[in-house]
């Protein structure tokens, strides 16, 4: 079946896939744009990483207040003001703020962890593993696994998302990258809990 080139281009632009993939999806869907778009959602997600190279300077600062005891401010950026005002984007911001309130991450991502913190925790784990009498040739591997788990619990993007623990917050953000066709970046956050001392 011949497909309309304008529809192919529209599908390509929406999903971030190549022209060939967009055309094939439309052909498989017998020219039904909505069916083709649905089929391309997953493929679109694989292209979300490429969007990471594009600059995200628009966005919003969202907030969440839980029982007047926990408050969160989070800055999430996108590429255009149009997307920043989109209800899908604003729902993402609210969900991430709610997650931060519930899960109390310390960092946005592992890239933010100061080297001295990482080294200190690594030294503690190494000492503990040696004290447990683990084989010398296995120590580095064991410590590496423990470090990964330890920091995954403290980095927002690596934490299991509270609304769907089968995916991480990072995957949830990438899903929105694909849905909205823009680079989306969680820039920073601040979490206050009543009675907590920083």
Task: Report whether 162 contacts 99 (CB < 8 A).
Answer: yes
pLDDT exceeds cutoff 80 at 39: no
39, 10: one domain: yes
175, 136: one domain: no
Average pLDDT for residues 36-65, to the nearest whole number?
Answer: 70
State pLDDT tens for residues 165-179: 999 999 999 999 888
Residue 46: the pLDDT is 45
Residue 130: the pLDDT is 83
* Count of structural domains within the chain: 3
End-to-end CA distance of the chain: 64
DSSP-H helix ranges across the chain: 5-15, 19-28, 33-46, 48-51, 81-84, 87-103, 115-131, 139-152, 169-180
State pLDDT tens for residues 80-98: 889 999 999 999 999 999 9
Q: Mean of the per-residue pLDDT values for the chain?
A: 85
Q: Where residue 10 sits, what CATH number does that domain have?
A: 1.10.8
64, 104: one domain: yes
104, 79: one domain: yes
Q: Where residue 70 sits, what CATH number does that domain have?
A: 3.30.479.20
User: Domain containing 188: what range?
Assistant: 58-108+154-193
Split at pLDDT 50, 70, 90, the class of 101 is: very high
124, 34: one domain: no
Residue 16: the pLDDT is 66
In a domain, 51, yes or no: no
**Per-residue b or e along 93-104, where b marks 16 or more CB atoms closer than 10 Å to that residue's CB:** bebbbbbbbebb
188, 158: one domain: yes
In a domain, 40, yes or no: yes
State pLDDT tens for residues 10-23: 777 666 667 777 78
pLDDT exceeds cutoff 70 at 158: yes
Task: Report whether 5 contacts 171 (CB < 8 A).
Answer: no
Angle at 184 between CA 178 and CA 186, to 5 degrees: 135
What pTM was computed for the model?
A: 0.68
pLDDT exceeds cutoff 90 at 126: no
Split at pLDDT 50, 70, 90, the class of 104 is: very high
């Amino acid at each position: 079946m011949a497909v309309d080139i304008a529809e192919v281009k529209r599908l390509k632009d929406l999903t971030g896939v190549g022209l060939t993939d967009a055309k094939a999806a439309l052909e498989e869907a017998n020219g039904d744009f909505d069916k083709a778009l649905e089929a391309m959602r997953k493929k679109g997600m694989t292209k979300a990483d490429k969007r990471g190279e594009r600059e995200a300077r628009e966005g919003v600062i969202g907030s969440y207040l839980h029982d007047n005891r926990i408050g969160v401010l989070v800055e999430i950026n996108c590429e255009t003001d149009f997307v920043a005002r989109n209800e899908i984007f604003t729902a993402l911001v609210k969900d991430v703020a709610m997650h931060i309130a519930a899960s109390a991450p310390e960092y946005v991502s592992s890239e933010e962890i100061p080297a001295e913190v990482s080294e200190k925790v690594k030294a503690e784990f190494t000492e503990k593993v040696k004290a447990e009498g683990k084989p010398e040739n296995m120590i580095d591997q064991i410590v590496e696994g423990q470090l990964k788990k330890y920091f995954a619990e403290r980095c927002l993007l690596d934490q299991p998302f509270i609304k769907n623990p089968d995916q991480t917050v990072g995957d949830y953000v990438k899903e929105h990258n694909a849905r909205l066709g823009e680079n989306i970046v969680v820039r920073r956050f601040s979490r206050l809990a009543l009675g907590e001392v920083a």
